[in-house]
Structure 1
Amino acid sequence: MRRTSTTDMAGRSVLVTGGTGGIGKATAVGLAKLGANVAITGRDPGRLEKAVREIRAAGNGKVDGFAADMASQTEVRRLVGEVLHQLPRLEVLVNNVGGYWNTRQVTADGLERTFALNYLAPFLLTNLLLGRLKECTPSRIVTVSSHVQATGRVDFDDLQGERDYSGARAYSQSKLATVLFTHELAQKLQGSRVTANALHPGVVSTAFGAEDPGAVQRLFLPVMRPFMKTPARGAATSIHVASAQELEQVTGCYFANSKPKKSSQQSYDNTVAKRLWQVSADLVGLESVP
């Protein structure tokens, strides 16, 4: 049955990763207000419980919380098991979780944290949830990228920044990777009634990068903060791409300010996208592809 309103999400089930604060929480609140049944993930159980209460108070639907450190592949796989057990339906997946680290950090899987959290986590999570999304069509995969994808380069010779690490370079690479992934995924899902789109939320005032800030965060953010978007405004594009009726069949696109726009030229390189997919599948131990 087709929805009759661009703002009617009643009865639809949505999972938002990184939903305990910032853009993720604002996205969950916005979708809950539209009537969606919302589930969020969060690393800290206390923050997760608090966010679930606040989202529940803002909306009319059911709200669930799943504790998971998305930088860990074991945690992502456990999360998928819990989601499939507790959520009989899943129509929208919002890959929102992300982070920035000025100094190189390594996850339990031996991977550079920025690449692992910002890119490999949504890659693995999306692939493992594709079966449920295909069962609940029309469904959508919405991945939060960034305008810095335009300056990114996928360095296959040093994906993990072992030889030469830069926080900014690792971040832009991870965000370009999410757009390449989205374009490749959209092609793989043609005809399935599952869409895949990426977006830039804008420059938003959040605690982003606070764990290990670089010079930009330390020196310029305090000055820039009054001119940055609020989390609610930053979430507007995610909410639009997740819910707008006119986007039900739109796939493989990149959005900013709730409008489609061209992403960087390198994000349309099919050869790079296919190579990145295979490398990623190997890194997460994913044998089958959609």
Structure 2
Amino acid sequence: MSDLQGRTVVVTGASSGIGAAAVARFAELGARVVVVGRSPEKTRAVADSIKAEYHTADFSRLDDVRALAEKLRDRRIDVLANNAGGVFSGRRLTPDGHEMTFQVNYLAPFLLTNLLLPSLSEAQVINTGSIAYRFATLDLNNLDGLGGQRAYGAAKLAVLLFTRELARREEKLTATAFHPGGTATEVMREDSLLGPLMRVGRYFLPSAEKGAAPLIELATVADPESINGAYFNKHRRQEPTHKQVTDPAVGEQLWDISARLTGLHAS
């Protein structure tokens, strides 16, 4: 494990669940933690508990993502943990005109990471993925066409493709994705069907601290280059076999489409 003393770690989706558990552990390891969450009250409470800086941002609004990047861009970031996410019932559109679940889980972290690239030299970008990617398919001609659980799977597939493409494009940073496993969190809270089930199931599921453990492990690995572009199922490295993940052309196309959808210049 590498030493986090004095290193700056930014964690999104940190007002509860895996993110809140992660920032607490990062603070114990000596990191300068930046807590990012949607709820002002919850985010402030988490930050106050570890005496950390905090910012609020609603990832269903890309202008919030741009404002967050503006606040963070003038510093060196050693670890960016793109952990924010959620599942929303049906097919809802954000104020930006994108499907809600897809934007919150993929387009927003894609935009944030790209806007922060000047601050991410020699940094680790760690993306929270999901095993749900295995059962999804991306329609590159209509990324916003799904909703609910299907959109969540597509978003997590996009996260994995983004991770691999980021690792390929950016030589001055490393990128890794991981599946935390079934965990007692609020990620399904907005889903009308699974939300109530998760509220019951959380009494039987592994704790948020266990879900955060792979993130802590990846952020403290001695040689980040050794896991660049990799995907982990909890603590175990896995090579994805999904046909879209293993096709480099899909990652390139997705990047350019995502850059257009988020207002970045495709390259």
TM-score range for the pair, normalised by the shorter chain length: over 0.9
* Residues 1:66 and 1:223: Cα distance change in structure 2 (over 3 Å): closer
When residues 115 and 100 of structure 1 are mapped into structure 2, their CA distance, relative to the original with a 3 A threshold, is same
Q: Which residue of structure 1 lines up, in the alignment, with residue 4 of structure 2? A: 9
Report 1:160-239 matches (<5 A).
160-161=144-145, 165-190=146-171, 192=172, 194-214=173-193, 216-219=194-197, 221=198, 224-239=201-216
Deviations 1:106-140 (A, max 9, x none): 11111111111100011111111111111xx2x10
Normalised by the length of structure 2, the TM-score is 0.94
What residue is the counterpart of 1:150 in the other structure?
134
Letter aligned with residue 64 of structure 2: E
Question: Which runs of 5 or more structure 1 residues have no equivalent in the other structure?
Answer: 1-5, 57-62
Q: Does residue 218 of structure 2 align to residue 270 of structure 1?
A: no
User: Quick one: percent identity of the two aligned structures?
Assistant: 38
Residues 110, 166 of structure 1: alpha-carbon distance in 2 compared, 3 angstrom cutoff: closer
TM-score, scaled relative to structure 1? 0.87
1:149, distance to aligned residue in structure 2 (A): 0.8
Alignment partner, residue 95 of structure 1: 82
Contact 2:124 2:224 in 1 (8 A): no
Q: Which residue of 1 aligns with 2:65?
A: 76
Please give the alpha-carbon distance, in whole angstroms, between the structure 1 residues aligned to 2:15 and 2:200: 25
2: CA distance, partners of 1:248 / 1:181: 17
Amino acid at match of 1:146: S
Equivalence map 1:17-36=2 (5 Å) = 17-36=12-31
Higher Cα Rg: structure 1 or 2? 1
SS at match of 1:158: coil
Q: Report the CA distance shift for 1:176/1:264 in structure 2 as closer, same or farther (over 3 A).
A: farther
- Structure 2 gaps of 5+ residues are none
1:238, distance to aligned residue in structure 2 (A): 0.8
Q: Alpha-carbon deviation of 1:211?
A: 2.2
- Is 1:53 matched up with 2:31? no
- Among candidates 90, 106, 127, match of residue 93 of structure 2: 106
Equivalent residue number for residue 126 of structure 1: 113
**How many residues are aligned here?**
266
Q: Can you list the C-alpha shifts for 1:118-177, whole angstroms capped at 9, x where unaligned?
A: 00011111111111111xx2x10000000111111101233212xxx4411101000000
